[in-house]
Amino acid sequence: MIIGYHASHEQFPPSELLALVKAAEQAGFHAAMTSDHIAPWSERQGNSGNNWAWLGAALSGTAFPFGSLAIPGGWRYHPAVLAHLVATLAEMFPSRLPWIALGSGEALNESVVGSGWPSKDERNARLRASADILRALFRGDTVTAHHPWFDVDDAKLWSLPATPPRLYGAALTPETAAWLGPWADGLITVRKPRAELRMVVESFAGNGGFGKPMALQLQVSWSETRDEARIAAWQQWRNAAAPPHLLADLRTPGDFDKLTSDFEPGEIEGVIPLVTKGLELLDMIADAQSLGFEEIYVHNVSRDQAGFMRFMSREVLPSVRKRDVGL
């Protein structure tokens, strides 16, 4: 069981986030993961550094592995350009970038380049074509491919890692998980109520994903009191209350803020679990493990990351280690 730290580009400037992943390693986390955004989900979050530039510094300043979300569909990143970025990091830091998770993207991040925002079907087609290009380039092939959205002409990566990252697929729904099953190397998703999460897992496993690794992003709001945790979640991450079918189509942080402007603090626990005790988080981790997740990346949405590190090092991570060795 890998318990990782989710590094939130949306909430912290890159320099501070670099210090946080170093602190996470010292606290005993086993790994870290990041997202790849150009904008935060909310104007209150206030940051969004470039993930790939930052990862070079983060890998250099730590010793544990990182996973990262990646959007290869030809908006901000042409798949050949993304492959070049990823391969360079993986060559410099062997085994430290074990996977990237490919997603179909959100208008919030991808529409900034001015090429429009297509339907989910087209975004999935772009994603699938991009995955094939990434795999071929990571093998060292010379790639030529022509698609309605992007072309590749005699592309080749001249500096290759000994072992390229696995290509996980990112899914929020059972339908997307089922579509990913046959071709993705693994699955990453976000925490939901157990019945909903089980449907995502079963859809992936039942459509070609059985036996493949699965990772979970576990969002919580930690504080020493439930009231503090509730207010922190409401202030920082009430964008989680946006209807799932709108997540990919809202274009600005202000759109998310407007959509959730009437959402009250008392409602936040319905979308972000509040945590004050280690046993509460350990139970969530055990529940996810029972569904087959081998990697769990904890995202504390409050800004008190120093207090969260102390909490994890004292109340959670030692107990995870004991469970792993059967003590």
First-to-last CA distance in the chain? Answer: 15
Indicate if the pLDDT at residue 326 is higher than 70: no
Q: Are strands 151-155 and 143-146 parallel, antiparallel or unpaired?
A: antiparallel
pLDDT exceeds cutoff 70 at 327: no
Pairing outcome for strands 186-190 and 166-170: parallel
Per-residue three-class SS string for 83-127? HHHHHHHHHHCCCCCCEEEECCCCHHHHHHHCCCCCCHHHHHHHH
Q: Is the pLDDT of residue 310 over 50?
A: yes
Under the banding of pLDDT at 50, 70 and 90, the label for residue 92 is very high
Report how far residue 76's alpha carbon sits from residue 56's, in angstroms, rounded to the nearest whole number.
19
CA distances from 134 to 75, 164, 184, 253 (A): 15, 10, 12, 30
| Cα angle: 137, vertex 138, 144; to 5 degrees | 10
CB atoms inside a 10 Å sphere around CB 286: 12
Cα distance between residue 254 and residue 268, in whole Å? 19
Cα-flanking dihedrals φ and ψ of residue 264, to 5°?
-95, 155
Helix axes 51-61, 14-27, angle to 10 degrees: 40
Average pLDDT, the chain: 96
Q: Which among 135, 60, 139, 71 has a CA at the least distance from the CA of 96?
A: 60
Segment 3-30, tens digit of pLDDT: 999 999 999 999 999 999 999 999 999 9
Helices (H), 36-95: 51-61, 79-92
Burial 67-98 (b: 16+ CB within 10 A, else e): bbbbbbbbbbbbbbebbbbbbbbbbebeebbb
pLDDT tens, position by position, 256-275 = 999 999 999 999 999 999 99
| pTM > 0.85: yes or no | yes
Instruction: Tell me what percent of the residues of the chain surpass a pLDDT of 90.
Output: 95
Calculate ∠ Cα 142-148-151, nearest 5°.
Answer: 25
- Asked whether 58 and 90 are in contact (CB, 8 A), the reply is no
Kindly give, in sequence order, each residue whose CB lies less than 8 Å from that of residue 275, ignoring residues fewer than 6 positions away.
220, 221, 222, 229, 281
125-136 confidence digits (pLDDT tens): 999 999 999 999
User: How far is the CA of 63 from the CAs of 58, 150, 317, in angstroms?
Assistant: 9, 36, 18
Distance CA 157, CA 90 (A): 12
Q: Mean pLDDT across the stretch 143-167?
A: 97
Residue 245 is predicted with a pLDDT of: 83
Give the whole-number percent of the chain exceeding pLDDT 70: 98
